[in-house]
Chain A
Amino acid sequence: GAGVSQSPRYKVAKRGQDVALRCDPISGHVSLFWYQQALGQGPEFLTYFQNEAQLDKSGLPSDRFFAERPEGSVSTLKIQRTQQEDSAVYLCASSLGQGHEKLFFGSGTQLSVL
């Protein structure tokens, strides 16, 4: 596609449920990033992939968060046993090269945990 696509756009989960958020990066982009944006805050880094390799997952807040990019294209961010503090917008970004020189962001998935 022309841009980074994320689905679903909105997700409501009951506390304790598992959720999966999908990101389709721009075709051919090597790098893929996940960020979490809480209400009224700037995005915070979660994890980074270079092709299928997850090179940095230092921002994942707990072991309930898991991300994968098995074929070096589509990525999924999974949150197990969701908690209210997980409520945020989850942003995916991709870039052509191996760094963050120019990131292209998706519109995000707004997760609400009730």
Chain B
Amino acid sequence: AQSVTQPDIHITVSEGASLELRCNYSYGATPYLFWYVQSPGQGLQLLLKYFSGDTLVQGIKGFEAEFKRSQSSFNLRKPSVHWSDAAEYFCAVGANSARQLTFGSGTQLTVLP
């Protein structure tokens, strides 16, 4: 069975600082990997996804993530955080043959002025 671990429940960074959110997954084959963001009262929005190819993927809002097979990780990064990035971030894994995604428990990001 596939699983996702987001080790950090809550992260606080200052505006303008760099950000890295951790995600580790467990899956037997090459996974489909996703990062979603959820703002209060809003639906989840896809930031980026990895299916194959280049292991460094670019997403919306200046985010990027790197797939590292050897570490079973797919960490999300942003070089300079904006106050509007405060939200909850979810990493998810999916399989090619299945239609369901398995989400991590999320990381809440607070941005200090």
Q: Which of A's residues lie within 8 Å of B, judged by CB?
A: 3-4, 31, 33, 40-45, 48, 50, 55-56, 58-59, 91, 93, 99-108
Judge whether A56 and B44 touch: CB under 8 Å: no
**How many Å lie between the Cα of A27 and that of B60 in the bound state?**
24
A6 smallest CB distance to B (angstroms): 9
Judge whether A33 and B46 touch: CB under 8 Å: no
Q: Which of B's residues lie within 8 Å of A, judged by CB?
A: 4, 32, 36, 41-46, 49, 51, 90, 92, 94, 98-106
Judge whether B103 and A44 touch: CB under 8 Å: yes
Pairs A–B under 8 Å by Cβ, sample size 22: A31-B99, A40-B106, A41-B105, A41-B106, A42-B4, A43-B101, A45-B101, A45-B102, A48-B99, A50-B99, A56-B98, A58-B100, A93-B43, A99-B99, A100-B94, A100-B100, A100-B101, A101-B51, A102-B46, A102-B49, A103-B101, A105-B45
**How many Å lie between the Cα of A99 and that of B99 in the bound state?**
6
The interface residues of chain A, by DSSP majority, are classed as loop
**How many Å lie between the Cα of A31 and that of B98 in the bound state?**
13
